[in-house]
Structure 1
């Protein structure tokens, strides 16, 4: 496998699942953390139940034996510069409070996501 830590391509991870499937959340965050810690600008687009993960205090627990904790993954993602874009329609439909968002999250939809990607390339993953 070739190692390229100076790759400028952005990474976008789309996540629809919340804590009802903590293993899927763990995998999505592992992919996002890996991209961000390798220097890629990284955005997680949270939709459906995943929007709750952007609320302070929700990322709790460990998905499986040997898995990193969800709070640790969230912190590593934030420290590495990762951003959370939270679907505005999904967030509002769940009547969540924007004042409770974690510091690296913002409300937005597909247009802000496409603006963030811009004209360059982006590697995408969907969970």
Structure 2
């Protein structure tokens, strides 16, 4: 069984609870030592811009900045869809720590591509 985890997130702050759940899953994987990648697409690409992922989704939920800090500290990384990012005219030089622009081919290469790697456990939000 693969040790890697990929969390695909399409939702941005229009649904902060969904974003929080996706981050909780990613943080859990990364803090357990799994190589973890969050693939941000659609409105989720905005979360890779500093100062956007702020606030707390619900009473008792951890704040989004804390989840991002824990995720990055545990070695998690972000792959941000360049088509979605550029369609929103966001600044490519202004990304949060651990984030880089990259589409489906870099995602598949990270998972293992044709290398014979065992793939990854995937979650989609």
CA distance in 1, matches of 2:84, 2:51: 19
CA distance in 1, matches of 2:119, 2:103: 19
Matching residue within 4, 12, 28 for 1:34: 28
Matching residue within 23, 27, 44 for 1:50: 44
1:22 to 2:20 alignment: no
Query: How far did residue 49 of structure 1 move?
Result: 0.1
Equivalent in the alignment of 2:96: 102
Other structure's SS at 1:95 match = coil
Equivalent in the alignment of 1:69: 63
Query: How far did residue 121 of structure 1 move?
Result: 2.5
CA contact (8 A) 1:8 1:41 kept: no
CA distance in 1, matches of 2:118, 2:94: 32
Matching residue within 86, 89, 92 for 2:83: 89
How far does the alpha carbon of each residue in 1:46-97 deviate from its partner, in whole angstroms, 9 at most, with x for none?
0000000000111100000000000000000000000000001000100000
CA distance in 1, matches of 2:76, 2:92: 19
CA distance in 1, matches of 2:33, 2:79: 19
Number of residue equivalences: 121
Moved beyond 6 Å, runs of 4+: none
Matching residue within 54, 61, 64 for 1:60: 54
1:113 to 2:107 alignment: yes
CA contact (8 A) 2:57 2:63 kept: yes
| TM-score using structure 1 length | 0.93
